[in-house]
């Protein structure tokens, strides 16, 4: 069964090691260390954990990573000022606004994302970078979809001509994936809470990408024999991390599957580091 696992943790480790080499060479050439600043508003414990994981990985590979922690009662104007300072700071090459924002600020999320300089957009969520995906340009694209594609390609999983079903239509996951998969000639179907007969779509999928936030949403009886499953969700059940898939039972019927943890999570962090390096290279004018 081991050979069925799409090991995101292992691949992320390898990609990070390669990136560390590239960063070291670039720093020798320019004398400038790539810098990522993460803005964390409020005290959400899951966000804090994610931010710390990202910072640790960045530091291990030679990215100067700092976290600016802001009070959850900060005003919209104060947050705008912080972003503005970072946009204007030439030593900051990449900016990450950790989401979700506290409730009071959440409705302005699109405004803050748009305010971040598109060339410093570590998360690939600026409207300009999202728009570039229409032209299949993935240079600074969203990290999770980028990580999914990297993982599929690393394992030589054919995407061309496949029926790919994505259960999620968020800006972070489903929407960017549409373009990345079309670019690679898949037939893409997006499902969501208003999809009629969702099980019909799930049963037809050659590649199934799920991010619905529901443990055991995907069970053995719903899937096609030999399907490839990408489980993006990070649910907590009794303190333990799990995805949407009834992993143990689905394992024998699928061809390949990502574990949770150890699948898409580490790939997302690797792509954040990759985006940071891309943003840095553009700003220090190296290729
Ligand atoms: N590993 C990582 O690095 C990483 C990165 C990003 C996200 N995630 C995880 O991925 C999950 C999704 O994140 P998100 O930000 O995209 O969440 P989200 O915005 O809440 O999106 C959830 C999506 O699932 C759909 N959905 C929910 N219940 C459904 C149902 N019963 N049937 C069909 N569709 C259903 C929703 O449909 P509607 O649009 O109709 O509501 C929505 O499109 C979360 O667990 C998150 O933690 C992990």
Please write the tens of the pLDDT for every residue from 48-106.
999 999 999 999 999 999 999 999 999 999 999 999 999 999 999 999 999 999 999 99
* CATH code 3.40.50.720 region(s) in the chain: 143-265
Assess contact for 15 and 150: CB atoms under 8 A: yes
**Omega before 35 cis (within 30°)?**
no
Helix or strand holding residue 189 (H, E)? strand 187-191
State in Å: Cα 171 to ligand 1 middle.
10
- Please report how the helices 174-183 and 143-154 are oriented relative to each other, as an axis angle in degrees rounded to 10: 40
Q: Domain 31-120 belongs to what architecture?
A: 3-Layer(aba) Sandwich (3.40)
**What distance in angstroms lies between residue 168's CA and the mean position of ligand 1's atoms?**
5
Atom of ligand 1 nearest to the CA of 144: 5
pLDDT of the residue at 2: 80
Q: What is the token pair recorded at 154?
A: 């690393």
> Does 123 participate in catalysis according to the annotation?
yes
Ranges of residues in the chain with a pLDDT under 70 are none
Residue that has been written with the tokens 């990580």 in this structure: 147
Which residues, other chains included, contact 19 with Cβ-Cβ below 8 Å and sequence gap of 6+? 61, 270, 273, 274, 277
Which own/partner contact pairs does 134-142 have at CB distance under 8 Å and 24+ positions apart? 134/179, 136/179, 136/180, 136/182, 136/183, 138/180, 138/183, 139/278, 140/275, 140/278, 140/279, 141/176, 141/180, 141/275, 142/171, 142/172, 142/173, 142/176
Is the distance from the beta carbon of residue 209 to the nearest atom of ligand 1 less than 6 Å?
Answer: no
pLDDT for 1 equals: 78
Give the dihedral of Cα atoms 205, 267, 11, 93; nearest 10 deg: 140
pLDDT at position 52: 96
Three-state secondary-structure class, residue 205: coil
CATH of the domain spanning 143-265, picked from 3.40.50.720, 3.10.20.90, 3.40.50.1100, 3.40.630.10: 3.40.50.720
Q: Round to whole Å and give the CA distance between 179 and 188.
A: 9
Q: Please state the separation of Cα 153 from the chain's center in Å.
A: 16
Residue 59 appears among annotated catalytic residues: no
Residues of the chain with CATH 3.40.50.10860: 31-120
pTM: 0.98
Among the listed residues 41, 116, 122, 114, the one whose alpha carbon sits nearest the alpha carbon of residue 86: 116
Q: Is 54 a catalytic residue?
A: yes
Instruction: Render pLDDT for 171-197 as a digit per residue (tens, 0 to 9).
Output: 999 999 999 999 999 999 999 999 999
């Amino acid at each position: 069964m081991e050979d069925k696992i799409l090991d995101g943790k292992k691949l992320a480790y390898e990609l990070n090691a390669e990136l560390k080499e590239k960063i070291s060479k670039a720093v020798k050439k320019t004398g400038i260390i790539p810098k990522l600043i993460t803005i964390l508003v409020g005290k959400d414990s899951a966000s804090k954990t994610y931010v710390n994981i990202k910072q640790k990985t960045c530091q291990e590979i030679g990215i100067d990573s700092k976290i600016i922690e802001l009070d959850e009662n900060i005003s919209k104007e104060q947050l705008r000022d912080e972003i503005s300072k970072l946009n204007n700071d030439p030593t900051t090459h990449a900016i990450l606004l950790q989401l979700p924002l506290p409730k009071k600020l959440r409705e302005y999320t699109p405004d803050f994302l748009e305010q971040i300089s598109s060339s410093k957009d570590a998360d690939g969520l600026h409207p300009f970078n999202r728009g570039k995906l229409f032209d299949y340009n993935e240079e600074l694209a969203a990290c999770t979809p980028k990580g999914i594609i990297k993982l599929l390609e690393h394992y030589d999983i054919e995407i061309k001509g496949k029926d790919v079903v994505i259960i999620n239509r968020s800006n972070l996951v489903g929407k960017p994936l549409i373009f990345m998969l079309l670019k690679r000639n898949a037939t893409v179907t997006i499902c969501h809470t208003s999809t009629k007969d969702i099980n019909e779509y799930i049963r037809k999928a050659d590649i199934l990408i799920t991010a619905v936030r529901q443990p055991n949403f995907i069970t053995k009886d719903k899937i096609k024999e030999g399907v490839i499953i990408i489980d993006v969700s990070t649910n907590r059940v009794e303190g333990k991390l799990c995805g949407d898939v009834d992993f143990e039972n689905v394992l024998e019927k699928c061809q390949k599957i990502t574990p949770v943890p150890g699948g898409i999570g580490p790939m997302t962090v690797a792509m954040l580091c990759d985006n940071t390096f891309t943003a840095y290279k553009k700003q220090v004018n190296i290729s």
